[in-house]
Chains A and B, each alone.
Chain A
């Protein structure tokens, strides 16, 4: 692993996470579409320096504006990168949709269930272990703005792996 792409929908906290992990200066705001171009930084995983890239938010892998085109191009251009898929825990379904798309594409994925504080405020509880069992990729709960869960996220980064969608369908089972 020598590159990490931070991907996720807009306004889920990718840039906050990026700044925490790399000490970088990506612009952070509370509205969708703040990052319209990518930012690059560096972080250490197990003593090894890897490049981390803050990708503009994208709802799905079918781009609908210029910022999303940038996101898709990054993903296609960085074949050897692992993907840190950031999900807004209070809107988990749509985040999972993108995560599944990334998994189907064959990308090695780790999931950050970010904004756990917002989900808690909205009275939404997510069983992260169960989710991890079903998906077969690491799932870590985080609150990037407070720094919660970041250490664990970095520790588990090496467990990132690509899985088959068929396997997920099998472990989830029928409706």
Chain B
């Protein structure tokens, strides 16, 4: 026999009447905190404080390891040492593994960690010296936010804003998770109800949300610009979300979401989750960084890079106002965006050009791992739409930034 919905609820009611007794509500610290953090008057300042704390922890943690430790290890010990040890290699092998001989001969103008460029020098420094610590810090903070139950409260607070662009407040969960890595972010989008919402959030994540690896590189290389970068990306996320909502057919209904009670995080779980995601970075991302370094060095050594840069020069300069020397960075942007930021010729560009390039790299093609996931999560129509969206975004956003720069005379 199958009951109707009403009959079933009625039966549930009768069962619980016989088995459940509810005592008086007692106000606990958890309840009080739960109230304070979802009421807009108190919740918004609280959210700002949490995100500020998040950011400070991230900066300090990553900075401690990168600047305090790995810059010195690599810069003064490892890179000169490996350069000397492998000096006997043929030119092509030395170029790929260690870097440009000319740079070594000059005694490293600038920072040896970046100037070297080879697989065993810069290729190892970027993932292990910088990005690993950044993603570790982000994964750790995100795991704590996930496990305490704060994320769904943030979703409640931001619900009104998100509805303006046709998304439910829950979309903030995949968005924040993506700040660690876009891969789990895209997966988390499955909890959204309609195809439209899922498509929108995946497209917006892929384009506008930089991952932990990128953020780590930005924090190391352009810390003075990072606030502007985030602001610009947030404007893009909301603006393009608004447009997508208008033009993409489908519904964005209200959904009800459970806000779970606060829980003290279980540290074993926090560590495990952080470790699992970090391991994913080590095994999936690091090989691509090394491969990317090798490709760039091969392109340099064979002179192909000059040809590509020459071909793109006019285009890059006209549309985006970015010099041709940024080309290598854009080439490896397809593989890894963190590596791409590391290859930007920062000294050779104006501040505004650096800013534009960092934005361009962020909204650029999603990294390979994310793209592979898009292929699985979306249907072909949505994939084409995402790619179209990408191209339009790059040109419109990049072009507008260029125009603003021209108007401002930067």
How many angstroms between the C-alpha atoms of A144 and B262 in the bound complex? 16
How many angstroms between the C-alpha atoms of A123 and B24 in the bound complex? 7
B residues less than 8 Å from A101 (CB atoms): 8
How many angstroms between the C-alpha atoms of A50 and B149 in the bound complex? 33
Count how many pairs of residues, one from A and one from B, have CB atoms less than 8 Å apart in the complex.
131
Scan residues 120-150 of chain A and give those whose CB is less than 8 A from a CB of chain B: 121-128, 130-131, 134-135, 145
Size of A's binding interface in residues, CB under 8 A? 49
Q: Which of B42-50, B214-222, B253-261 contacts A (4 or more CB under 8 A)?
A: B253-261
Report the minimal beta-carbon distance from B143 to chain A, rounded to whole angstroms: 8
Q: Is B25 an interface residue (CB 8 A)?
A: yes
How many angstroms between the C-alpha atoms of A37 and B147 in the bound complex? 19
Q: Which of B9-17, B101-109, B244-252, B286-294 contacts A (4 or more CB under 8 A)?
A: B9-17
Contact B260 A32 (CB under 8 A): yes
How many angstroms between the C-alpha atoms of A173 and B170 in the bound complex? 41
Q: Which of A40-48, A72-80, A92-100, A154-162 contacts B (4 or more CB under 8 A)?
A: A92-100
How many angstroms between the C-alpha atoms of A64 and B260 in the bound complex? 20
Size of B's binding interface in residues, CB under 8 A? 51
Q: Which of B68-76, B191-199, B234-242 contacts A (4 or more CB under 8 A)?
A: B191-199
Contact A29 B147 (CB under 8 A): yes
B residues less than 8 Å from A128 (CB atoms): 19
Q: Is B406 an interface residue (CB 8 A)?
A: no
How many angstroms between the C-alpha atoms of A70 and B184 in the bound complex? 17
Scan residues 51-77 of chain A and give those whose CB is less than 8 A from a CB of chain B: 64-67
A31-B152 CB under 8 A given contacts A36-B187, A66-B198, A67-B191: yes
Q: Is B146 an interface residue (CB 8 A)?
A: yes
How many angstroms between the C-alpha atoms of A27 and B184 in the bound complex? 10
Residues of A near any B CB (own CB < 8 A): 10-11, 16, 25, 27-34, 36-37, 64-67, 90, 92-93, 96-97, 100-101, 104, 118, 121-128, 130-131, 134-135, 145, 164-166, 168-169, 172-175
Residues of B near any A CB (own CB < 8 A): 1-3, 8-16, 18-26, 28, 30, 143, 146-149, 151-152, 170, 173, 184, 187-188, 190-193, 198, 257-258, 260-263, 266, 269, 272-273, 276
Q: List 15 A-B contacts (CB under 8 A).
A: A27-B273, A28-B147, A30-B147, A31-B260, A32-B260, A33-B191, A34-B146, A65-B190, A90-B261, A93-B13, A104-B3, A125-B22, A134-B15, A135-B15, A166-B1
